[in-house]
Amino acid sequence: MSLLEVSDVTVSFGRRRTVAVDSISFALGAGQRLGIIGESGSGKTVTALALMGLLPETAQLSGSIMLAGKQLAGLDDAGHARLRGDLMSMVFQEPMTALDPTMRVGRQVAEVLLLHTSDRGGSARDRVLDMLQRVGLDDAARVADSFPHQLSGGQRQRCLLAMALINSPDLIICDEPTTALDVTVQARVLRLLDEVLTAERAACLFITHDLAVVSQVCSDVLVMLDGRIVEAGPVQRLFTAPEHPYTRGLVATARIDQLTPGERLPTVEDFYQREGSDER
C-alpha cells in the first residue's frame, strides 16, 4: 500500500475558479523519493500546499488525498494541525520567512516537538540539540540560542530541516529548499538531506525547477505543465528517453550530464513556441 495516494485532485481559486492544479493523480510509497519539476506557475507549490492543508481560504479543492490511510481532502484546520509536524512536515524555500525572526531557533524547533510529544524541559532541549547535530550543525548549543538573523543561509535551512525531522514524520515535503543557497552550500544541504532521509526511512516529495537537483535526490519524477502532470516515471528514464514534448524540451535545453544546480527550465511559452501554437 502506498503511503500517499493523490487521486484526481483539482485546486482552483476565486469566484471564477481559476484552475492551478488540474485533475492530478500520483502515489508515493514509504521511503520513496518523488520529484515534481516544472517552471514557476506549473502547480508544484499549490500541490504541496494542498497536501499540507495550507491552501488559502479562496482555494477550492476536490479529489482525494490519502496519507497513511487518512483522508486529508476536506479535513479541517485542527485535523491538519494534528498531522503537520508529526505524520508529515514541510521544508520551505526561504528560511528567513519560514523562521520567526523574534524567536531563538532552539525554541522554534522545540515548539514543533512539544506540540506532538510530552517531552518537557531538559528532555526537549536534549532532543533539539541532538537533532541540530544530526543535520550537520556541530555547534548545536550556540545555534539553538541564536536568532535566525545571526545564522548563515545554510545554517537556517538546516534548522528548518531539523524542525521537519524532529518528530520522525513518514512524509517530508521539500519545496525548493536549496533555491536561496549558493551552489556550494546547496550541495552540502542536498547531501545532508539524502543522509537524513535514509536514516529516518522517510518518504520525500521534492519540488523543484532544477533538473540537476532532482537527479541527485529522487528516484522518480513527475513533470508538471499548466497544472497537469504531463509525464511521470523513473528519473533516468525521463532524462534519457523523455516522451512528452515538454519533457523533451527540458532535457534538450539542459542535458542531465551537463547540468549545474540553478539552471533555468524552459518556460511554458518556450514549449508552445516550439510546438508552433499559442493554444493552451
> What is the CATH number for 125?
3.40.50.300
Strand ordering across the sheet containing 70-71: 18-28, 4-13, 59-67, 70-71
Question: Reduced to 3 states, what is the DSSP secondary structure of residue 189?
Answer: helix
pLDDT for the residue numbered 212: 80
The verdict on residue 279 lying in a domain is: no
Instruction: Quote the number of domains for the chain.
Output: 1
Domain contains 147? yes
All three cell numbers of 179, joined, read 533555491
User: Given this model, what pLDDT does residue 280 score?
Assistant: 45
* The pLDDT value given to residue 274: 52
User: Residue 280 domain-assigned?
Assistant: no
| Enclosing domain of residue 265 | 4-274
The answer to the question of residue 255 being in a domain is yes
pLDDT of residue 146: 97
Q: How far apart are the C-alpha atoms of 65 and 26, rounded to whole Å? A: 10
| pTM, 2 dp | 0.84
Is 153 inside a domain boundary?
yes
Separation between Cα atoms, residue 162 and residue 122, nearest integer Å: 18
What's the pLDDT at 185?
Answer: 79
What does the pLDDT read at residue 263? 46
- pLDDT score for 15: 86
Per-residue cell: 63: 479529489
Q: Where are the beta strands (DSSP E) in the chain?
A: 4-13, 18-28, 33-37, 59-67, 70-71, 88-91, 171-175, 203-208, 220-225, 228-234
Residue 131 belongs to a domain: yes
231 falls within a domain:
yes
| Consecutive 10-residue averages of pLDDT for the chain (280 residues) | 94 92 96 92 94 94 96 92 90 85 94 77 84 89 96 90 90 87 81 86 90 87 96 91 89 58 48 49
Q: Which pLDDT score, from 0 to 100, does residue 5 have?
A: 97
